[in-house]
Structure 1
Amino acid sequence: MTGPPRDPGLQPERTRLAWRRTALALTVIMVLTVRLALSGDVTGALLAGVAVLGWGTALRVCWGRATGSGPSVAYGPALPLVALATAGFAVLGTLLVVRGLW
């Protein structure tokens, strides 16, 4: 079943820019978490390890979509994984702000 050709307009560009913003935000929070780990706190080191692991996983998906080289179909475990990482980073970012490390 085929319909009329799709005119994407600026939607692909907006989508790529949104993925880049997501990757940038995740990177900033990961760097701040690593900074917390350098203070010598065991909890900070554990959070930094989890943050780096989540950041690497999410960045792989974000980069592929931001450059247009990744899958364009929204299915599989990639999007829920990025959503989970983003929610975790939002909580982590809030904790960093509360602790005054921004």
Structure 2
Amino acid sequence: MDTTQLLKGVLDLAVLAVLKDEDGYGYDIMRRLRAAGLEEIGDASVYGTLRRLFQGGLLTTYVVPSESGPHRKYYALNAAGRDQLVRSGKVWRSFADTMEKLLDEGVAA
């Protein structure tokens, strides 16, 4: 099964979850997503998602100067982002439970 379409549907949730406990900059967030098992995630998808979540008021940003390269723009969850993470997490868990039941038990007649 091609996971590309699945990733599109849950990328917002995945990014919010990665930022739940620790702020991060673009490449760091992408690295954490890949380390969690989402190896097929594209750079442009992650950066586009970060921009969209920020514009949607779910993230805040701040810049950290770097002596060894360009400054890094960090993203952090704000209160609205944490609320969205909780809501989206509930929807995901309900959906995943339904899919598990379908796969394990099928549809009752």
Q: Same fold (TM over 0.5)?
A: no
Q: Which has the higher contact order (CA 8 A, sep 6+)?
A: 1
Query: Which structure features the higher share of strand residues?
Result: 2
How does the TM-score come out when normalised to structure 2?
Answer: 0.34
